[in-house]
Structure formats: structure tokens, C-alpha cells
């Protein structure tokens, strides 16, 4: 194949195996299970906030759990498929529609070239996941597709962006397998957690407050969930800056709790009083501001 013809073919192949963003949502990004092994140089794990929902979407279309998905928060985007594809949607219900016709969540779906997939506001939950057969194929940096500012070129989806996807198979021979979602994943208010390295720095009374009171979410980002101040948890404990990770619950001296999430820093100087389980991180990722949660100690 002549060089000029090969370049033309490559451009056509890229366009045909891709999705165009017609209208972005509130916070859409390409994520996989995370970027591991780089904490020593300050690179966050990143990856999907709700790994349980993301894995479900991939499982429905027999993808590897490692395949990248599109994570959407609160309000979803409008997308146009430039190639027929097999998809699945899981997580928060954002009223997905295909060519203005409602489609089911947790169901394997076939889309055709030119089809428009649109999302609205989340009816329940906070984050929704779109999986496409063979995954999204944005630039892979440090062994991961997970979007993060300063690491990947594409961070948040914008209008007109073309997102490459894996090569699609002949799709119309597939059935429409479906999974019934467990709403407990979205309704659960109790987060399982292990005692953190500095848990014992709290007084017995503060430990009791931590494990019996409910805490209201006041801020919700991919970096951290912050909770309303609890003056009774104020303290004067100081620690050296130490390693933190997604799920680490820190407590400031004024009594503010924060649960670090997937885009968190790799070190911190506040006491690490709890460490959320992987399932608890996924549950928390589906909570919105003003909702309340409780912590429950579990043991290794």
C-alpha cells in the first residue's frame, strides 16, 4: 500500500471506529481500573470511582475488566457513534436514550453508525458508566487509559471531541443479555472501613462519635468527599506527612472529615483514622452532596 493511501486509510479507520461528543455532560472522562505503581513519583491511582458498576458494564459485553469505560457524573453527554458497536450502561440511572428512545440499563445493546446516545440528569446515584466492546482507546499513559490532568492529553470530554474505540465485531448476531441491578448499592448509607494508622489517637468518646453519628457530604469530587465539620472531633494531633491512598479517611484539627478518592494525592499530613474497603469506595462514589453516611469498622 502506498504511503499516501495508507495515511488516508488510517484516518478513515480512526473516524469509523470512534464516538463523537455532540454535547458534553457535567464531568465525563475515560477511566479504567487505575494507574498503579507510580505513587513514589506522586502520580495518583485515578481510575473509575465505582469499580463495581464499571466492571458490570464491561462484563455484560464480555470485555476484560481492564477495558477503559466512559465515566459520567450527575449529568451525562450526547454522543454520536461513527461505527456500529456493542455497548452496555451501568451505575447511576441517567435516563439513557438511543435516538430519543429510552433504553435499559445493565443490558447489552447494539448501536448503528450515526446513532445518537443521550443521557440526562441522574435519577438515582451519581456516576454512570458506558462500556463499548473492546474498550475506549485514548492515549495510554503509564500503563493506563485513566484520565488525569498532567498525565493524559484528554482529561474532560468537550464538544466535538472524537473518542477512538476498539475495533467492533459483527454485532447483530448477539443477544441482549441483561443483569438486574441491586439498588442496595445506591441506597446503602453504611461504609465498611478498617481502623487507620492514627485511629487510636482519637479519644474513646471521639471514636464512639465517629462510629455512631451520621456525616453529611458537603463536597463531592474525584479527589475527595468532604463532610460537614464535627466540632466534637477537633483535636491537636500532628503526624509527619505520610502515604495515603483512595479510601483513606483523614481528620483535620478543626474536626473536618474527608474521604480521599481516586484522584487523591499520594501523601498527606492529617491523621488517617479509617481506610474504606474497596466496596465502600464504590458505594460512596454514588453519593451526592447533602446525603449522609455512617462508618462501620470491619476487621482483617
Query: d(Cα 104, Cα 190) in Å, to the nearest integer?
Result: 28
Statement to judge: residues 193 and 211 lie in one domain: yes
Structural domains in the chain (count): 2
Query: d(Cα 3, Cα 116) in Å, to the nearest integer?
Result: 34
Confidence bin at 17 (pLDDT 50/70/90): confident
To the question of pTM greater than 0.95 for the whole model, the response is no
Q: Could you say which of 162, 184, 206 is where a domain stops?
A: 184
Which percentage of the chain shows pLDDT scores above 90?
A: 86
Q: Which cell is 187 given? A: 441506597
Query: d(Cα 58, Cα 90) in Å, to the nearest integer?
Result: 9
User: What is the mean predicted confidence (pLDDT) over 90-118?
Assistant: 96
Statement to judge: residues 34 and 147 lie in one domain: yes
Statement to judge: residues 72 and 172 lie in one domain: yes
Statement to judge: residues 212 and 264 lie in one domain: yes
Task: Give the rounded distance of the alpha carbon of 247 from its chain centre.
Answer: 13
For the segment 233-252, what is each residue's pLDDT rounded down to a tens digit? 999 998 999 999 999 999 99
pLDDT at 75 > cutoff 50: yes
Statement to judge: residues 33 and 175 lie in one domain: yes
Q: Which cell is 112 given? A: 448503528
Query: d(Cα 193, Cα 299) in Å, to the nearest integer?
Result: 8
For the segment 112-164, what is each residue's pLDDT rounded down to a tens digit? 999 999 999 999 999 999 999 999 999 999 999 999 999 999 999 999 999 99
Q: Give the pLDDT score at 16.
A: 52
Q: Which residue has the cell 499513559?
A: 141
Statement to judge: residues 193 and 174 lie in one domain: no
Statement to judge: residues 17 and 150 lie in one domain: yes
Q: Give the pLDDT score at 2.
A: 52
Statement to judge: residues 96 and 169 lie in one domain: yes
For the segment 198-210, what is each residue's pLDDT rounded down to a tens digit? 999 999 999 999 9
Statement to judge: residues 145 and 20 lie in one domain: yes
Statement to judge: residues 147 and 12 lie in one domain: yes
Q: Could you say which of 140, 164, 184 is where a domain stops?
A: 184
**Largest interatomic CA distance in the chain:** 76
User: What is the mean predicted confidence (pLDDT) over 90-103?
Assistant: 97
CATH for 217: 2.40.100.10
Statement to judge: residues 18 and 166 lie in one domain: yes
User: What is the mean predicted confidence (pLDDT) over 218-235?
Assistant: 96
Residue 125, H or E segment: strand 124-132
For residues 112, 114, 115, 121, the Cα torsion angle rounded to the nearest 10 degrees is 140
293 is in which domain, residue-wise? 188-297
Considering only residues 184 and 122, tell me which one the structure prediction assigns the higher pLDDT.
122
Considering only residues 128 and 167, tell me which one the structure prediction assigns the higher pLDDT.
128
Q: Could you say which of 153, 184, 215 is where a domain stops?
A: 184
Statement to judge: residues 275 and 241 lie in one domain: yes
Q: Which cell is 296 given? A: 462501620
Amino acid at each position: 500500500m502506498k504511503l499516501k493511501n495508507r495515511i488516508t486509510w488510517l484516518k478513515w479507520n480512526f473516524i469509523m471506529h470512534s464516538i463523537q461528543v455532540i454535547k458534553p455532560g457535567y464531568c465525563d472522562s475515560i477511566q479504567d481500573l487505575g494507574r498503579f505503581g507510580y505513587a513514589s513519583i506522586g502520580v495518583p491511582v485515578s481510575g473509575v470511582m465505582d469499580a463495581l458498576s464499571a466492571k458490570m458494564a464491561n462484563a455484560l459485553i464480555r470485555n476484560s475488566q481492564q477495558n477503559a469505560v466512559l465515566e459520567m457524573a450527575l449529568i451525562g453527554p450526547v454522543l454520536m457513534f461513527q461505527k456500529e458497536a456493542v455497548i452496555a450502561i451501568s451505575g447511576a440511572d441517567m435516563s439513557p436514550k438511543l435516538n430519543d428512545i429510552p433504553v435499559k440499563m445493565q443490558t447489552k445493546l447494539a448501536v448503528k453508525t450515526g446513532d445518537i446516545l443521550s443521557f440526562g440528569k441522574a435519577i438515582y446515584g451519581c456516576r454512570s458508566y458506558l462500556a463499548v466492546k473492546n474498550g475506549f482507546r485514548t492515549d495510554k499513559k503509564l500503563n493506563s487509559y485513566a484520565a488525569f490532568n498532567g498525565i493524559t492529553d484528554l482529561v474532560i470530554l468537550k464538544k466535538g471531541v472524537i473518542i477512538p474505540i476498539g475495533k467492533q465485531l459483527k454485532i447483530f448476531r448477539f443477544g441482549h443479555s441483561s443483569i438486574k441491578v441491586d439498588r442496595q448499592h445506591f441506597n446503602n448509607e453504611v461504609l465498611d472501613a478498617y481502623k487507620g494508622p492514627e485511629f487510636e489517637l482519637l479519644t474513646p468518646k471521639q471514636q464512639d462519635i465517629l462510629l455512631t453519628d451520621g456525616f453529611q457530604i458537603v463536597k463531592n469530587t474525584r479527589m475527595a468527599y468532604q463532610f460537614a465539620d464535627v466540632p466534637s472531633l477537633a483535636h491537636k494531633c500532628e503526624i509527619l506527612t505520610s502515604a495515603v491512598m483512595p479510601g483513606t479517611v483523614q481528620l483535620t484539627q478543626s474536626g473536618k472529615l474527608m474521604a480521599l478518592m481516586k484522584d487523591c494525592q499520594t501523601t498527606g499530613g492529617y491523621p488517617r483514622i479509617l481506610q474504606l474497603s474497596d466496596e465502600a469506595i464504590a458505594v460512596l462514589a454514588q453519593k451526592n452532596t447533602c446525603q449522609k453516611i455512617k462508618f462501620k469498622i470491619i476487621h482483617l
